[in-house]
Amino acid sequence: MAQFLFAVDRGNPRISERYDPLAPAMLTFLCGVAAKCDAAGVPLSVCGEMAGRPLEAMALIACGVRTLSLASPAMGPVKTMIRSLEVAPVRAYLDGLLHGPDRSLRNKLKCFALDHGVVL
């Protein structure tokens, strides 16, 4: 999905730096989809690499995604992150960042996790 949103081939080293699933555009899109699904009573699940990385999974949860599908080797780290996460503070923090000038929220989300005891 992110490849289509960014119109980029993440495997191409000349343009792969444009691909960041923690870009405000991507997270705004995902938060919007999650809100629409919730309002319509439609379940939403995200699978793939983004769901299997603790930092990205934290962002998905902050957007309102409640079902993640991930590879079994990623379950331990993501589960550990989820158990250490309080959703309301990360949601409020993310909401404040989505319309800012940053190209990626990766570093700010890492700092949030560090400051709030979220295990990544």
Residue 13 confidence (pLDDT): 74
Q: What is the pLDDT of residues 16-49, one digit of tens each?
A: 666 789 999 999 999 999 999 999 999 999 998 8
**Residue range 45-64, pLDDT digits in tens:** 999 889 999 999 999 999 99
- Structural contact between residues 37 and 43, judged by C-beta atoms closer than 8 angstroms: yes
Place of tokens 């989300």: 109
Determine the Cα–Cα distance for residues 113 and 119; give it in Å rounded to an integer. 7
Q: How far apart are CA 84 and CA 69, in angstroms?
A: 19
Q: Taking the mean position of all CA atoms in its chain, how far away is CA 13?
A: 23
Give the chain's length: 120
Query: In the chain, where do the E strands start and end?
Result: 45-47, 67-69
Query: What is the rounded CA–CA span in Å between residue 1 and residue 41?
Result: 22
Burial readout 54-85 (b: 16 or more C-beta within 10 A, e: otherwise): bbbbbbbbbbbbeebebeeebeebbeebbeeb
Query: What residues does each domain of the chain span?
Result: 24-36+44-115
- Rounded to two decimals, what is the model's pTM? 0.90
